[in-house]
């Protein structure tokens, strides 16, 4: 069972480059008393070495956190206050040399570049954690499930004790569908108390599935199910007047003009395939006396499958309307 011996007079920090101001660490090397040379304990004969790095959980850095090879009593002595949760302290050669001499530790730095970084262990609650809770809260209040939430830059990181049990509470949420703007407040609760809060702001962008060309499509090409696929895109990337087509509405349609691979295919990019061309001869089908008859005619306008077009009977010169039922075929109802 380790014992912690804390000095009534805490050592002053020498060189603390990476820790933020206000961590309570010193500006000077560990001081020796006027009679310390006479009263310092005998130099220990154990092989002592400086550790490569150190991580501490408590409020103090112990000698054993810095040096390997110490006896049990020495390694549990306090060397300095620990940095703040999640912060680093960088201790240089001069400070370490003075610390070793004060405690009678037989150790000298190999050169002036020797140093050790001590990190205070912590549980980090960061931007991703707040974002997940924020998005869930927005969706519970009507934000589309397909939407992705993006936070503006801000301070969204909290450091808690390593084994802390915490929760994130979101409040005051708002969402403006026309501008996609969202806002809210995140509260990190630990040990039944508010540990910290963060103001949240950003955008929530719904995603929609749109048909895109799998490969380059040329003008006049008839679209098949192998030519298009669905792709999720940000709603704000679509033109305000753009109509999203259904794949089934595109199959069998003719491409008006070339469409590059990966490009969205809209209803304006296609037309019904022309099966009856204006000025071309067609077969006019009609029923007479229960018998299906046909006659030659000329199309007076273009038409696709299912379209109603005007045709002229070449024999009688009469003009009638019929429905395009196939390539160069128009059926006239009785």
Tell me, yes or no, whether 7 and 106 share the same domain.
yes
- Asked which of 251, 272, 293 is the last residue of a domain, the reply is 272
- Asked which of 272, 295, 314 is the last residue of a domain, the reply is 272
Tell me, yes or no, whether 1 and 117 share the same domain.
yes
- Name the token pair of 221: 């090409």
Query: Which among 280, 224, 270, 276 has a CA at the least distance from the CA of 248?
Result: 224
Tell me, yes or no, whether 265 and 278 share the same domain.
no
Residue that is written with structure tokens 């010169």 in the block: 317
Contacts 24+ apart (CB under 8 A), 249-256: 250/211, 250/223, 251/223, 251/224, 251/225, 252/222, 252/223, 252/305, 253/222, 253/223, 254/220, 254/221, 254/222, 254/223, 254/304, 255/217, 255/218, 255/219, 255/220, 255/221, 255/222, 255/223, 256/219
d(CA 60, CA 82): 4
* pLDDT 10s digits, 87-120: 999 999 999 999 999 999 999 999 999 999 999 9
For the chain, what is the domain count? 4
DSSP state of 298: E
d(CA 159, CA 19): 14
* pLDDT 10s digits, 244-285: 888 998 988 899 899 999 999 999 899 888 889 999 999 999
Tell me, yes or no, whether 18 and 68 share the same domain.
yes
Q: What CATH code is carried by the domain that includes residue 255?
A: 3.90.1210.10
DSSP three-state, residue 4? coil
Q: Range of 316's domain? A: 274-331
- pLDDT bin (cut points 50, 70, 90) of residue 24 is very low
- Asked which of 153, 173, 205 is the last residue of a domain, the reply is 205
Distance of CA 261 to the CA centre of its chain: 27
Tell me, yes or no, whether 136 and 96 share the same domain.
no
Tell me what pLDDT residue 187 has. Answer: 97
DSSP state of 280: S
Tell me, yes or no, whether 45 and 77 share the same domain.
yes
Q: What CATH code is carried by the domain that includes residue 294?
A: 2.30.30.760
Which pTM does this prediction carry? 0.62
Tell me, yes or no, whether 191 and 231 share the same domain.
no
Tell me, yes or no, whether 57 and 11 share the same domain.
yes
Rounded to 5 degrees, φ, ψ at 6 are -105, 130
């Amino acid at each position: 069972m380790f014992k912690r011996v804390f000095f009534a007079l805490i050592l002053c920090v020498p060189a603390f480059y990476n820790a933020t101001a206000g961590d309570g660490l010193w500006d000077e090397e560990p001081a020796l008393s006027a009679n310390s040379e006479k009263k310092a304990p005998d130099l220990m004969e154990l092989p002592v070495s400086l550790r490569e790095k150190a991580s501490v959980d408590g409020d103090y850095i112990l000698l054993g956190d810095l040096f390997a090879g110490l006896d049990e009593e020495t390694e549990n002595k306090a060397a300095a206050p620990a940095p703040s949760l999640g912060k680093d302290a960088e201790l240089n050669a001069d400070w370490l040399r003075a610390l070793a001499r004060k405690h009678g530790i037989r150790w000298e730095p190999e050169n002036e570049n020797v140093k050790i970084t001590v990190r205070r262990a912590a549980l980090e609650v960061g931007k991703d954690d707040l974002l997940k809770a924020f998005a869930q809260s927005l969706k519970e209040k009507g934000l589309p499930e397909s939407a992705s939430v993006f936070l503006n830059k801000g301070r969204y990181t909290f450091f808690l004790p390593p084994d802390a049990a915490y929760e994130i509470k979101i409040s005051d949420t708002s969402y403006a569908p026309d501008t996609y703007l969202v806002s809210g407040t995140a509260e990190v609760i630990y040990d039944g108390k508010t540990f910290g809060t963060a103001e949240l702001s950003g955008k929530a962008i719904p995603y929609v599935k749109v048909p895109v060309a799998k490969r380059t499509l040329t003008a006049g090409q008839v679209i098949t199910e192998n030519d298009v696929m669905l792709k999720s895109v940000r709603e704000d990337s679509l033109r305000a007047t753009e109509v999203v087509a259904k794949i089934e509405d595109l199959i069998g349609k003719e491409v008006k003009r070339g469409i590059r691979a990966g490009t969205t295919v809209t209803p304006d990019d296609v037309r019904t395939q022309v099966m009856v061309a204006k000025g071309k001869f067609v077969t006019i089908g009609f029923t007479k006396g229960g018998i299906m008859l046909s006659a030659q005619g000329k199309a007076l306008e273009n038409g696709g499958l299912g379209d109603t077009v005007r045709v002229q009977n070449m024999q009688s010169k009469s003009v009638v309307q019929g429905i395009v039922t196939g390539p160069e075929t128009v059926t006239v109802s009785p």
